[in-house]
Amino acid sequence: MSQNRLASHTGAVIDFTFNGKSYQGIAGDTLASALLANGVDVVGRSFKYSRPRGIFGHGAEEPNAIIQLGSGASTVPNLKATQVELYQGLEASSVNGWPSVNFDVMAIVGAFGRLMPPGFYYKTFMYPKKLWMTYEHFIRKAAGLGTAPVEADPDTYDKLNQHCDVLVVGAGPAGLVAAREAARTGARVIIADEQSEFGGSLLASQQTMDGVMAPRWVASLVAELVAYKNVQLLPRSTVFGYYDHNFLTILERRTDHLGLSSAQGTRQRLHRVRAVQVVLATGAFERPLVFAHNDIPGVMLASSVSTYINRYGVAPGKKLLLFTTNDSAYQTALDWQQTGRQIIAVVDTRSNPSGDIVAAVKLRGIEVIGGHGLIEAQGNKRVKRALIAPINASGTQVTGPVRRLNCDLIACSGGWSPAVHLSSHTGAKPVWDESIVGFRPGESKQQERSAGACRGTFDLTGCLAEGASAGAVAASLCGHGDGSVQFPACAVEDYIEQPQQALFLVPHTSATSRAPSQFVDFQLDVSAGGIELAVREGFESVEHVKRYTALGFGTDQGKLGNINGMAILANALDQTIAETGTTIFRPSYTPTTFGAIAGRDVKALFDPERYTAMHRWHVEHGAEFENVGQWKRPWYFPQQGETMNDAVNRECLAVRNSVGMLDASTLGKIDIQGPDAAEFITRIYTNSYLKLAPGKCRYGVMLKEDGMIFDDGVCACLGDNHYLMFTTTGGAAGVLAWLEIWQQTEWPELQVYFTSVTDHWATATVTGPNARRVIAKVCQDIDLSNEAFSFMDWRDGTVAGVKARVFRISFTGELSYEVNVPAHYGRHIWQALIEAGEEFSMTPYGTETMHVLRAEKGFIIVGQDTDGSMTPADMNMDWVVGNKKTFSFIGKRSLQRSDTLRENRKQFVGLKTVDGQAVLPEGAQVVFDAKQKIPMSMQGHVTSSYYSAYLGHSIALAVVKGGLGRMGQVVHCPLADGRIIAAEIVSSVFYDPKGERHHVE
């Protein structure tokens, strides 16, 4: 059944399906190791040519085994089978290869591969647009990478903000000892590793460390780390981004390994880490060798073959041929021989391989063929044989006859590429180092250091020494320990390695352009020939070639192919790799779920909803709500069977004819105290507050420096040097910040303090001709007569048994009392007033009615009738500007600019539609000549428009060029639906122009 599983490896059986077929794996398997155990060769199809592809690697570098997990709402596209832990009932399918991986219509296209040369997409863009639509449909259907779920994501994701002294990235040998050194100093340490188990390369290592096998050494070190209270261990956690100020992001997969639907709790957690110091111990990726048809299933990385044998008990083939440029891959020959399966030979490009391990391999009777290249793999859905030939010392030419060797597995190694990705995220430019044939991390741009293989140190002894030192130094830079290594060095036996050969493209008997495809980037089918073609077509910059050929564009982000690709490019350009440089790695290191980035900031928690103290009453009484900033304000209170219009008309009439009540708690309120409070306020508002007496209120507008209105409201004098400023609901935070900025940066000599009291007060506005009668029922200690408590006064008193502050200010034009109480009493006072108002049929009303009522009075709403380009004069509010004030006020100078003084500015007027029942849409454009051809001269626009039930006709407010000089003229509003509504320019005050209604007895 599991033909490739080694008898020595046992464990609990796990059932799973792949592409609809049932298989069995063993606990501890990844999907990749289980598929290999079952002899599944083809796991996907390549992106462009649809060539069959098999598992190539064993980790984040895997380019081929890209799968779709599960189905329905929780399906996950584009996972690497090498990183998916097997669980009972797992269902997976290949993302690429419609209609099936084994028979693929695109393979026919693949046979005509040269129809899709590099730059295919760019070139098709250049053709007539019409054709692209055809291509696109075809390409997306056939070559797409997985499918996103259509349903809402059922999983839960969250985020944790973490702080630590030392963050260690990677729990291989270097990372583990770095964490231990840092931990013992008492520093706060986080160590994260993307695999399910800590240990990195040691998990599949056959080396002994301190006298025990490497995996056992790892286990005891991990146990040591767990015992430290100051260490947080994060397995299954990928550090995917490194940002400024040592801020790093980690994606922890918490339940993915348990299955998609059965899991409870947080599926993935995003750790947002602020680290004082960082140790990068991210290891290295083995580099594949680029030879003809190196993409046939059965070609793998040497280290991956070893990992499958040693860690998962899987020998992914029967007859191995090893192909290498270096000593490290010889370990795979030794590992393979232990499985008892056949090894054909080791093909080494170096003419006389002679390292310790080479000798060890030869000693075991394995043939080593030096000075040869494996120039071509042959086979269809599985490797059948390899062609090898002698090559010259520089590796540029085949120099002798070609031999055929039968095999079903080719393990290749072109050396190791340090995983410099995270260091590169910081802006450090990787530096080419000929001695390791790879890019080392560039000069640090953050508080970080690399240790071990990611720094180009590939021997275990070196990794351990560097890791220990990096951990100790990082801790000492946080003030913990003296930076010296405290634990004794671990005793390991390393083979002394001989220099590797730098070989990025294995020569073929044919020229690269004629040879069978030699793949560089498997996922996107970028071949050596393709890169050379790009150069012939004039591309020179590595960044351009990357985009033109799509090299490194796949979900593996070029972890395998980049170095070979750049080297081939350098060669084609006849320059060094250092001169060619590398592309910049950016976050994310591996694909990251959007769900994790959103965290819990979704649905009801997406944005705070702010409620007033009376909110529950509104809900209980059927209010519809309107969003005003983050506030939920009652919009209107529909009764049974009422439309919004019905409700608003009823509410409006109630206020005009008797009395209504509004929850005005959301208005911004700022308490202002200090000896210079009056002077300060007078500089902020356009009018003066120097003579405002305690007990009195005044309306004011404030301008930005450009002279444009940005907020308005009433300001009350509470006592000596003590004021209360009301702002608009939406403007509250902005106004407070504005006051602080001017006080702190421009006028620090003015002694004044500001405190937000918006949340402290709950406000019930009782308004209408019967308002006084309602208040009188619940308030006995304020003389409510017009003489004692007149318009624009405020008084302290007791309302319904609660200490209250009552303002006689009005936004409706009616007699109004705004009752303010500390918000804990908000609901009490609201209900008491409702009861008191019953005999007058007092009607609760919402913001829509408030808008209609104020529009009838021509009161502006900043931000609706103004838009940041309106001066007080534009709004016909010159009366609010105190030009005689001794000190200037903010914006005054701008009111004298030629532009603010010019004729024909848009001015605030009323519009009365000729057909009184026609309600203009807000935003409608105003023209003078309805017959003018398009484009018409737009002369203004409607800012507010309502039907006034009280007046019996529609009313609108608008800003019209020179409008104040056009009273009585008829203008036209052409609408999107073709209608043209005519309206007369009238005063913006439709109701009670003399303001007599405030003073009813």
**Identity of the amino acid at 677:** A
Beta bridge partners of 703: 709
User: Which member of 104, 158, 194, 252 binds another protein (CB under 8 A)?
Assistant: 158
Q: How far is the CB of 798 from another protein (least distance, A)?
A: 7
* Per-residue b or e along 115-149, where b marks 16 or more CB atoms closer than 10 Å to that residue's CB: ebebbbbeebeeeeeeeeeeeeeebeebbebbeeb
User: With binding defined as CB under 8 A, does residue 38 bind another protein?
Assistant: no
Judged by CB under 8 A, which stretch of 238-246, 283-291, 822-830, 835-843 contacts another protein? 822-830
Question: Which residues make Cβ contacts (< 8 Å) with residue 646, sequence separation at least 6?
Answer: 638
User: With binding defined as CB under 8 A, does residue 923 bind another protein?
Assistant: no
- What whole-number distance in Å separates Cα of residue 249 and Cα of residue 252? 10
Q: Classify 726 as helix, strand or coil.
A: strand
- What whole-number distance in Å separates Cα of residue 79 and Cα of residue 609? 37
Q: For residues 628-657, which are near another protein according to CB under 8 A? A: 631
Closer to another protein by Cβ: residue 140 or 803 = 803
Q: How far is the CB of 442 from another protein (least distance, A)?
A: 30
User: With binding defined as CB under 8 A, does residue 675 bind another protein?
Assistant: yes
Q: How far is the CB of 755 from another protein (least distance, A)?
A: 4
User: With binding defined as CB under 8 A, does residue 663 bind another protein?
Assistant: no
Element (H, E) at 357: helix 356-363
User: With binding defined as CB under 8 A, does residue 600 bind another protein?
Assistant: yes
Closer to another protein by Cβ: residue 272 or 382 = 272
User: With binding defined as CB under 8 A, does residue 969 bind another protein?
Assistant: no
**Cβ distance 321 to 409 under 8 Å?**
yes
Burial class for 152, CB neighbours closer than 10 Å (0-12, 13-18, 19+): exposed
User: Which member of 439, 685, 738, 825 binds another protein (CB under 8 A)?
Assistant: 825
Nearest to 88 by CA among 317, 333, 258: 258
Full 3-state SS string of 603-634: HHHCCCCECCCCHHHHHHCCCEEEEECCEEEE
Q: How far is the CB of 279 from another protein (least distance, A)?
A: 20
Q: Classify 236 as helix, strand or coil.
A: coil
Q: How far is the CB of 972 from another protein (least distance, A)?
A: 44
Two structure tokens written together for 46: 């390549």
User: With binding defined as CB under 8 A, does residue 388 bind another protein?
Assistant: no
* Per-residue b or e along 691-717, where b marks 16 or more CB atoms closer than 10 Å to that residue's CB: ebeeeebbbbbbbeebbbbbbbbbbbb
Nearest to 701 by CA among 560, 866, 850: 866
Closer to another protein by Cβ: residue 51 or 669 = 669
User: Which member of 205, 612, 727, 871 binds another protein (CB under 8 A)?
Assistant: 612
Judged by CB under 8 A, which stretch of 60-68, 160-168, 570-578, 985-993 contacts another protein? 160-168
User: With binding defined as CB under 8 A, does residue 755 bind another protein?
Assistant: yes
Judged by CB under 8 A, which stretch of 213-221, 541-549, 816-824, 907-915 contacts another protein? 816-824
Q: What is the DSSP string of 854-910?
A: HHHTT---TTTT--SS--TTTTT-GGG--TT-SS--TTTGGGGSHHHH-TT-EEEEE
User: With binding defined as CB under 8 A, does residue 246 bind another protein?
Assistant: no
**Cβ distance 300 to 33 under 8 Å?**
no
Q: How far is the CB of 730 from another protein (least distance, A)?
A: 14
**Cβ distance 299 to 326 under 8 Å?**
no
User: With binding defined as CB under 8 A, does residue 609 bind another protein?
Assistant: yes
Place of tokens 């902020």: 684
403 torsion bin: left (phi>0), alpha (psi -120 to 50), beta (else): beta
User: With binding defined as CB under 8 A, does residue 163 bind another protein?
Assistant: yes
User: Which member of 41, 62, 671, 856 binds another protein (CB under 8 A)?
Assistant: 671
Q: How far is the CB of 804 from another protein (least distance, A)?
A: 10
- What binding mask, one character per residue, do residues 249-268 give for another protein by CB under 8 A, x or -? ----------------xx--
- What binding mask, one character per residue, do residues 183-222 give for another protein by CB under 8 A, x or -? -----x----------------------------------
Beta bridge partners of 378: 385
Closer to another protein by Cβ: residue 395 or 622 = 622
User: Which member of 342, 673, 864, 969 binds another protein (CB under 8 A)?
Assistant: 673
User: Which member of 377, 428, 485, 613 binds another protein (CB under 8 A)?
Assistant: 613
User: With binding defined as CB under 8 A, does residue 446 bind another protein?
Assistant: no
Judged by CB under 8 A, which stretch of 460-468, 701-709, 825-833, 938-946 contacts another protein? 825-833
Q: For residues 332-361, which are near another protein according to CB under 8 A? A: none
**Cβ distance 791 to 812 under 8 Å?**
no
Closer to another protein by Cβ: residue 229 or 979 = 229
Q: How far is the CB of 245 from another protein (least distance, A)?
A: 12
User: With binding defined as CB under 8 A, does residue 605 bind another protein?
Assistant: yes
- What whole-number distance in Å separates Cα of residue 24 and Cα of residue 36? 11
User: With binding defined as CB under 8 A, does residue 751 bind another protein?
Assistant: yes
Judged by CB under 8 A, which stretch of 90-98, 203-211, 620-628, 747-755 contacts another protein? 747-755
- What whole-number distance in Å separates Cα of residue 520 and Cα of residue 529? 9
User: With binding defined as CB under 8 A, does residue 272 bind another protein?
Assistant: yes
Full 3-state SS string of 422-483: HHHHCCCCCEEECCCCEEECCCCCCCEEECHHHHCCCCHHHHHHHHHHHHHHHHHHCCCCCC
Closer to another protein by Cβ: residue 236 or 615 = 615
Closer to another protein by Cβ: residue 222 or 804 = 804
- What whole-number distance in Å separates Cα of residue 142 and Cα of residue 116? 14
Q: For residues 790-809, which are near another protein according to CB under 8 A? A: 798, 800-803
Two structure tokens written together for 585: 């790695």
Give the CA distances from residue 957 to residues 31, 532, 859, in Å, rounded to whole numbers and listed in that order: 67, 68, 10
Q: How far is the CB of 273 from another protein (least distance, A)?
A: 11
User: Which member of 608, 748, 952, 968 binds another protein (CB under 8 A)?
Assistant: 608
Closer to another protein by Cβ: residue 146 or 826 = 826
Q: HSE, CB side, 13 Å, CA atoms: give it for residue 831.
A: 12
Closer to another protein by Cβ: residue 685 or 830 = 830
Element (H, E) at 53: strand 52-53
User: With binding defined as CB under 8 A, does residue 447 bind another protein?
Assistant: no
Q: Helix 542-549 crosses helix 562-572 at what angle (to 10 degrees)?
A: 110
User: Which member of 1, 12, 604, 976 binds another protein (CB under 8 A)?
Assistant: 604
- What whole-number distance in Å separates Cα of residue 619 and Cα of residue 630? 17
Total of chain residues touching another protein, rule CB under 8 A:
52
**Cβ distance 555 to 591 under 8 Å?**
yes
User: With binding defined as CB under 8 A, does residue 847 bind another protein?
Assistant: no
Judged by CB under 8 A, which stretch of 4-12, 131-139, 672-680, 863-871 contacts another protein? 672-680
Footprint of another protein on this chain (CB under 8 A)?
158-163, 188, 265-266, 272, 274, 600-601, 604-605, 607-613, 615-616, 631, 671, 673-675, 751, 753, 755-762, 798, 800-803, 821-828
